[in-house]
Amino acid sequence: MLPDEARKFFIKSTGRKNLESSELKALDELISELDSLPLGVEQAGAYIGNTKCSFEAYLQRYKKHGFELLEQFKVEVDYYPESVAITWLLNFEKAGEISKASTELLFASAFLNSTNIPSELFIKGAKELGPVISSALKDIESAPRVLDEILELLVQYYLITRDTELQTYDVHSPVQAVLRDGMDESTQQLWAERVVKAVNLTFPEVEYENWELCERLLPHVQICAEHIKLWNIEIEESAKLLNASGKYLHKRARFKESELLLTGSLEIRTKVSGPEHLDISGSLVDLAELYKDLGRYSKAESLSVRALKIRENILTPDDPAIAESLNNLALIYKALGRYSDAELLFIRALKITENSPGPDHPDMGIRLNNLAGVYSELGRYSDAEPLCVRALKITENSLGPDHPDVGTRLNNLALVYSDLGRHSEAELLCTRALKITETSLGPDHPAVGTCLNNLAAIYSDMGRYSDAEPLCVRALEITETSLGPDHPDVGTRLNNLAAVYKNLGRYSDAESLYTRALEIIENSLGPDHPTVVACLNNLAAFYYDQNKYLKARSCYERSIKIMENNGRETSLDFAALLEKYAYLLMKRKKNREAIKIYNRAKGIRSKIE
């Protein structure tokens, strides 16, 4: 500020008029002491206005007592102006004379993120913030004005700025630094631990309806994570907070941040509780889910198996936690193409869940949906459809029509309808799923990529390739950005876009995408995964249409070998593959070999159909 601006501000904010010469002289000297810095002027004006003291009296207090406070608080003036630090400390001291709870609350605030500190943190976490705050806010439920009064005093002395509409407040980060600098190490650690416990107590269950509060608390969780590391706060509250917030970040597709918090939680729980404690299984389950979604199936399987073993050793066989572990391990087996193993675990999890927590619980929707997914992979669409329909009904009734899980159920039912040739119904469901998913999770979430990919597949089945193309392109962009260029889902997106390009006559683009898709799938899932067969078959069909018969033959022969190795040589899919291979051999004038292959396919069909 210019000195004249500072003078006008002081006179207006304090309501002083007709100042005597001694007061004008003191005011000008004070402005000079403060170097006309807005923060210092603002703080000093608040003190003078609230205490009704003279400019001269404040100047004397500033010069004498202010420097004593600087020494007492061990302020590092290299990081913030000395003059501003003095005005903050004077205001802080005065607020403390009026309300000890206000200054204690400011101490707690010094260990949080400096902006958007939510009132919920003190309403729900008060009992963890020391006896003064705990006592002051013990009746907060019946007397909510108590917190307002504590905060209002800090507002009056310009120690915080408050947003009453959002029920949050901000603290200048240098104010936080001044307060922390004034504490010895043991006091800093005490407040850091108190804040970690309070934030943990406030952080809600990671359900969709709580996401708004989770997001509001997240910046403060991240500061708490720093405290936990700096002060070695290795307690169950720390582990619980890191795990819950890591789980939330996973839901929001912020995978790297999620992994850091989830692994930190597991490390603390292992130290605090031991490697076989039930709490450990919770951390293992959540970390395994993350690795599954990242395509890191080997790690995910190892953690899931360990979690299931811990739970089976401690809990009864019909405990819902056992069902959760079975379900999660089955999902990994499904991703790995181990459909028989997945089916057995899904069925066992479904039976447990039907008994507890019951047939209408949201978990029941999850179990039915996942079992239906295996049946779809096995081509058992008639078995999958009633499970998908029931799963959708349970999820809508229990969670509401706009919940992201409803989007997932709609999406999966749409795929079943598409496989059954009911394309119009599939399109309606998939369009609704896309709208729900975009609205609830955001336009860049990987689940949106899945919805776009599936809707594009439906359009392709209907011959609407021009409608499918932009959806495939957007799905690929979202998936690559959110999951990385080497994730198996990227291979799936590339494969589907390649099919669209082929049908649009863009053969060079199609071949490039088909080969890249195959490479990604092989590298991420292994050379014998069922999805590799799908990629090889698509590439073979493409080469056949391009009259590149030798390349097509190589792809078909490799597909046949993989299916035989996977024990699928008696399936209808295998029969269809043999028939395509036989047609290729006929084209190549290999009639005797073609007849032999065709008869093998005919024999498989006669046993099944």
With CA atoms as reference, report the closest residue to 368 among 354, 356, 381, 350: 350
Q: With bands split at pLDDT 50, 70 and 90, how would you rate the model's confidence at 48?
A: very high
Q: Does some domain include residue 484? A: no
pLDDT, tens digit, 9 for 90 and up, residues 564-584:
988 878 888 899 999 999 999
- Is pLDDT above 80 for 46? yes
Q: 77 pLDDT exceeds 70?
A: no
Distance of CA 139 to the CA centre of its chain: 34
**Cα separations (Å) of 220 from 27, 214, 326, 426?**
40, 10, 34, 43
CB-based contacts of 183: which residues, under 8 Å, 6+ apart?
A: 191
- In the three-class reduction of DSSP (H, G, I as helix; E, B as strand; rest coil), residue 118 is classed as strand
Q: What is the pLDDT of residue 83?
A: 86
pLDDT value at residue 144 = 81
Measured CA distances, 293 to 254, 259, 609 (Å): 12, 12, 37
Q: Which of residues 67 and 33 earns the better pLDDT score?
A: 33
At 76, the pLDDT band (50, 70, 90 cuts) reads: low
What is the predicted pLDDT for the residue at 293? 94
- Residue 121: CA atoms inside 13 Å, Cβ hemisphere, count? 29
pLDDT confidence bin for 78, thresholds 50/70/90: low
Average pLDDT of the residues in 278-292: 97
Q: What does the pLDDT read at residue 256?
A: 95
**pLDDT over 90, % of the chain:** 85
Q: What is the pLDDT of residues 353-391, one digit of tens each?
A: 999 999 999 999 999 999 999 999 988 999 999 999 999
22-32 residue pLDDT tens: 999 999 999 99
pLDDT of residue 609 exceeding 80, the answer is no
Q: What's the whole-number average pLDDT of the chain?
A: 94
487 belongs to a structural domain: no
Contacts of 454 (CB under 8 A, 6+ apart): 411, 414, 415, 430, 433
Spatial contact of 34 and 40, defined as CB atoms under 8 Å apart? yes
Which pLDDT value is given to residue 337? 87
| 535 Cβ contact list (under 8 Å, min separation 6) | 491, 495, 514, 517, 518, 521
CB contact at 8 A, 269 and 239: yes
CA distances to 109, 189, 299, 431 from 100, rounded to whole Å, are 14, 20, 51, 57
| Residue pair 420/381 in contact by the 8 Å Cβ criterion | yes
pLDDT of 277 strictly over 80: yes
> What pLDDT is recorded for position 458?
95
What strand order describes the sheet that includes 168-170?
117-118, 168-170, 161-163
115 lies in which domain range?
3-181
Residue 78 lies in a domain: yes
Query: In this predicted structure, what is the pLDDT of residue 69?
Result: 84
Retrieve residue 336's tokens.
């790995």
Least confident of 19-33, 321-335, 495-509: 19-33
142 — pLDDT class (breaks 50, 70, 90):
confident
Q: What is the rounded average pLDDT of the residues 169-191?
A: 91
Model confidence at 491: pLDDT above 80: yes
Is 90 exceeded by the pLDDT of residue 499? yes
Answer whether residue 126 is part of any domain: yes
Is residue 73 scored above 90 in pLDDT?
no
| Residue 148 predicted with pLDDT over 80 | yes
Structure tokens at 238: 């720390």
The yes-or-no verdict on residue 214 having pLDDT over 90 is yes
The pair of three-digit structure tokens given for residue 540, joined into one six-digit string: 């073979």
SS3 readout for 482-495:
HHCCCCHHHHHHHH
Q: Work out the number of other CB atoms within 10 angstroms of the CB of residue 544.
A: 19
Question: What pLDDT is attached to residue 444?
Answer: 96
In a domain, 170, yes or no: yes
* pLDDT at residue 573, as a whole number: 85
Q: 148 in a domain, yes or no?
A: yes
Query: Does residue 93 lie within any of the structural domains?
Result: yes
172 has a pLDDT exceeding 90 = no
The predicted structure's pLDDT at residue 75: 67
Q: How confident is the model at residue 425 (pLDDT cuts 50, 70, 90)?
A: very high
Specify the pLDDT at position 174.
82
The secondary structure of 526-545 as a DSSP string is -TT-HHHHHHHHHHHHHHHH
pLDDT average, residue stretch 484-512? 96
Region 519-546: mean pLDDT is 93
Q: Could you give the number of structural domains in the chain?
A: 1
Is 18 within the bounds of a domain? yes
Three-class SS state of 86: helix
**pLDDT confidence of residue 177:** 87
Q: Which residue has the higher pLDDT, 282 or 175?
A: 282
Residue 79 has pLDDT above 80, yes or no: no
